[in-house]
Structure formats: C-alpha cells, structure tokens
A and B are shown apart, each in its own frame.
Chain A
C-alpha cells in the first residue's frame, strides 16, 4: 500500500516540476496590477507592476484626459514594465493599463514640478517606492482576513445552533 503511493507521489512531484519549467509564462498568474505614472516634459512616464512586484511587460497603456475621458495617446509597457508615451500638454492625465487576461489598473498622472532642493527624479523614485509598498501584500492583511473568515463561521454556527433549538 505504501510503496505505490510513494512512487506515485514522487511521480506527481516530478511531473509538476517538469511542466512548471516548461510553461514558464508565469507573470500572468499574479492577481493585482498596479501602475504609477507622472508627466515629465512632453511625455507621460510610468511603471506597471503585478502584486508580487514582478514588472508587467507588454501591456496596453492608454493616456486619457481626466476631465473629458477622451484618449490622447496609447502605447505599451516594456520588458521592465516601464512606459514612456508622448502626449499633448495638460496639467494632469489619467493612465489606464490593460492586459489580455482581464488585468486592468488606473492611475492619476500629475505633472511633477520641482521647487527647491528636491528634483523630479527623486520625486519619481519616491512615488514608485510608495506604490511598491502599497502593492505589497502585508501579513496583517492576511491574518485579518483569516480572522474575518473564522468570525463569520462562528456567526453562522451561532445562527444554526439557535435554529436547532
């Protein structure tokens, strides 16, 4: 009884590793998509990341006018998830990033202006850092969600016990 089960488990493990290595296209597996963008000169530049912080490559990027929602320009993200798209001059833009597997994210892209000691590049890095922290899944969120599930289960058990009486 034990010998065939070990053999079949080992077989399944090998199959699993082999097929995973074969398939490779794993970026689409990440669930959330996040985008940061800002206007710099004649362009809108930004970066799209999945929730596991891998770059979102090859996605369609649309730049919209935030007031009228008309499309001003479009392009796609590069291998590192970054994009640079030339646009007509406006104070701010709306950026919509869309992938083929039903991923979609939006961002507000203001025009960054530097006054004094901080330059535009430092502001860009700061905005990207904040977006990365926002995209990361935190342990307290996971633990909190499990708490909700057990609380709801307790509530349901309570209602069921009352109904039984």
Chain B
C-alpha cells in the first residue's frame, strides 16, 4: 500500500503533504505522557509488521495494523506512523520521501476514523463478543479505508477509473484485511480481559 515516488501528480502530492503535516502537528499536541510507551510500541509494531511476510497459500501475507494503532492512540497515530513510514522509506525503500505525506495520510486517517467510530463501544465491562467485533472492525476500517484512500489519490492524479483501482486494491489487500482483523480482534479482546486500564485512554 506504499505508493512509490513519481506516481502522484504535484497538486495531489502537495495537498496530501499539507494535510499530513497538520495531522502530525495536531497529533503531537494530543499525545499525552502516559500514552508515550504505547505509542512507541505500536510505532515499532507497524514498522516491523510490513517486513515480515508470512507465506499463506499461493502468496504471502503481512500485517499493517494501522486500524489497531489508530484505535488505541487517536490523533497521536499521525506522528507515530510518520516516524515508522519515514524509517521504512529510509531503510527499506518502501514508498519514498516525496510521497511520505500521501502515504501517511493513507495509513493514519483510517486509524483516526477507527478511533472515533469504535471508542464508544469499548466502555467498562464490555462483553467479550463486543470486544472481538470492535477489534475486527479496526482491521476492516484500517485496511479498507487505506485501500479507498490510495485508490482515490491514484485516481485523482492519474485520471484512471476509481472503481477499477478500488477493485484492484480490494482484491490485493483482502488477505491483509482478514489477518489484520483477526489480530485486532484477538488484541482488543485480550486487552479488555487482562488490562482494561490500557483502553482507558481510548474512551477519554
């Protein structure tokens, strides 16, 4: 899902970079001291997850976890993923520095959406099934939203048909979506049962 340097047109590139800078600035203001260890942990998880390809069936699958990071961090997901994406661009040549803003927008905005859509469902004493569903929804919103945004940015800059791009992205990322949803469901359900205080920041 990392767009490469040179595929987006200049206006799309500039607009998405400006939006990302605003998101990072707002996220840094919203990052509270007690969230910092969790933010670093999720940043490291996002950074590493996309390098580990697990062969399943005919292809390979890896995690992205932007929805889960967004649920737990809220707007602070912007600076966290900015660091992780910059390191991926520098060390692995995933994406590039010119499109860092666009890639950040693609990854972080669905995370923020997951946070706002799901935080009301994770009150104290939430049922186990409810936690599983919320966690799975993280993966669906995170990956589905990222695929939508990536398709939209490509369609805006290339003039190609949005519906075709979306089918392409949707098919290619279905395995990632499923794995992310499964890991999200497991993680949120475990947090609810073992460490409910970890979710306190989600509700506030």
Contact = CB atoms under 8 A, between A and B. Distances in A.
Interface of A: 1, 4-5, 8-9, 12-13, 15-17, 19-34, 51-52, 54, 98, 100-106, 137, 141-142, 144-146, 148-150, 152-153, 156-157, 160-161, 164
Interface of B: 1-7, 31, 33, 36-37, 39-40, 43-44, 47-48, 50-51, 53, 56-62, 83-84, 87-88, 91-95, 128-129, 132, 136, 150, 154, 165, 168-169, 171-176, 178-179, 181-182, 185-186, 189
A52 B47 CA distance: 16
Given A9-B186, A102-B154, A19 B174 contact: yes
Given A26-B172, A150-B40, A164 B33 contact: yes
A19 B57 CA distance: 10
Contacts of A106: 6
A12 B136 contact: yes
Contact of B91 (A9, A16, A98, A145): A145
Given A25-B171, A149-B47, A5 B91 contact: no
B107 to A, nearest CB: 12
A75 B181 CA distance: 38
A26 B58 contact: yes
A142 to B, nearest CB: 6
Nearest to B57: A21
Contacts of B150: 101-102
A146 B24 CA distance: 20
Contact of A32 (B43, B60, B84, B94): B94
A102 B176 CA distance: 17
Contacts of A104: 4-7
A149 B87 contact: yes
Nearest to B34: A160
B179 A20 contact: yes
A1 B128 contact: yes
Nearest to B54: A20
B13 to A, nearest CB: 12
Contact of A52 (B53, B129, B185, B189): B53
A133 to B, nearest CB: 13
